A and B are shown apart, each in its own frame.
Chain A
Amino acid sequence: MSRLFQFVRQWKPIIKEGFSQSFLIAKFLCLLHVTNTHVCTPVLVYGPSMLPTLNLTGDVVLVEHLSQKFGKVGPRHVVVVRSPENPRKTVTKRIVAVEGESVTFLVEPALSDRSHTVVVPRGHVWIQGDNIYSSRDSRQFGPVPYGLILGKAFWRVWPPDGFGSL
């Protein structure tokens, strides 16, 4: 019995130290999560739909979430949006119109000149890629609810020669 007490007395400070270090790591991870979800996070975006603003091969941009939470995201902002066709994917496009505005767009710009006009319903936004010839956006899946917007991309971090605001 006394052997057990001796054992515990020997390891007690180490166990205490272990708990306090784990708590510190847990606190750091919580801070990381809160910053990534509610403040600002880097995102890798790739694809041809936002040429020439964003590169085909991939750019790392900083996306901030505070504008979306306060409702300050508006036209001409580049936003990261949860795709309405597949909730596990995120797409990066530019907001062209907000609720109440009417949008005129070319249905198939490569094939014909036919255009269509739509009024954006309440609580939704109309997003389009800068490269309308190669972009799957609101012209295909319709206006997107404002709540699906994850954040506004405001600064490019990589590649280094593109470092600066968008």
Chain B
Amino acid sequence: MGTRNFLWNSAKKFFTIGLIGLTVSDRYFSIVPVRGYSMSPTFNPQISSSTGSLTDDRVLVEKFCLEKYKFSCGDVVVFCSPSNHREMHIKRITALPGDWISTPHSYDAIVVPKGHCWVEGDNSVFSLDSRSFGPDCKVQTILEDIEDLKKNYFESCLFLFVPRTANSCSHAMAQFAVKSVRMIEWEGAFPFWLSELARKDMGVVTPFCN
């Protein structure tokens, strides 16, 4: 009887604390960890080799602004990504409705429509922001898929640029991987068809090497 009372009281206490915590975090303040380096050096200024979440910066986010929805240029905001509502991003507002913005992909200037804003990360090299959510959202989707693969499916991943004429080797490998259903490990020599293609690719590349 005593333990039941104790359990019931603890459950009530947890429920109350949960309710109050949820209300405060929805309406007033919450603490959010910042992942990634798109806001360097404002947040996460050092690029650390470990991907542990203990080294991330934590920021205090206030929710009073959501009553009036009045933001100014230069505010750092936390928002749900337009292409994936489960992901949250943190970026800085660089233009408000009615402002003109020059797009990076063409020589046109566009006006920010009513009810929208333009966000950019402080570290423009590492940042996926309005420049990619904007007119070119197909590229944005491919970039997000690559980021997802890199983060969740490979132990380590390195990106190299190879010109198209010397790329038939990677193309054939990718096609082979898409068609196969089991895991493949090659120890020692590569299969014949792959080394032939690689030799052909090297024939294109060697004139450019010293």
Interface residues of A (CB under 8 A from B): 26-27, 29-31, 33-34, 37-38, 83-88, 121-124, 145-147
Contact = CB atoms under 8 A, between A and B. Distances in A.
A124 B23 contact: no
Nearest to B66: A87
Contact of B85 (A37, A38, A145): A145
Number of chain B interface residues as a range: 20 to 34
Given A30-B22, A33-B23, A146-B85, A88 B69 contact: yes
B115 A123 contact: no
A3 B195 CA distance: 99
Contact of B82 (A26, A34, A38, A124): A124
Interface string B55-74: 00000000000001100000
A17 to B, nearest CB: 19
B85 to A, nearest CB: 4
Contacts of B68: 88
Contact of A86 (B20, B80, B114): B114
Interface in B18-46: 19-20, 22-23, 26-27
B85 A34 contact: no
A123 B20 CA distance: 32
Contacts of A147: 80-82, 85
B16 interface: yes
Contact of B20 (A30, A87, A88): A30
Given A84-B115, A85-B114, A87-B69, A33 B26 contact: yes
Given A33-B27, A85-B114, A86-B115, A123 B22 contact: no
A29 B28 CA distance: 14
B84 A122 contact: yes
Interface string B68-92: 1100000000001111110000000
A89 B68 CA distance: 11
B182 interface: no
Nearest to B138: A121
A87 B84 contact: no
B19 A27 contact: yes
Nearest to B26: A37
A61 to B, nearest CB: 23
Interface in B73-120: 80-85, 113-116
A34 B80 contact: no
B177 interface: no
Contacts of A84: 115-116
B137 interface: yes
B20 A27 contact: yes
B24 to A, nearest CB: 8
Nearest to B16: A27
B124 interface: no
Contact of B23 (A34, A83, A85, A122): A34
B141 interface: yes
A124 B68 CA distance: 25
Contacts of A38: 22
Contacts of B26: 33, 37
Contacts of A87: 69, 115
Given A84-B116, A87-B69, A34 B84 contact: no
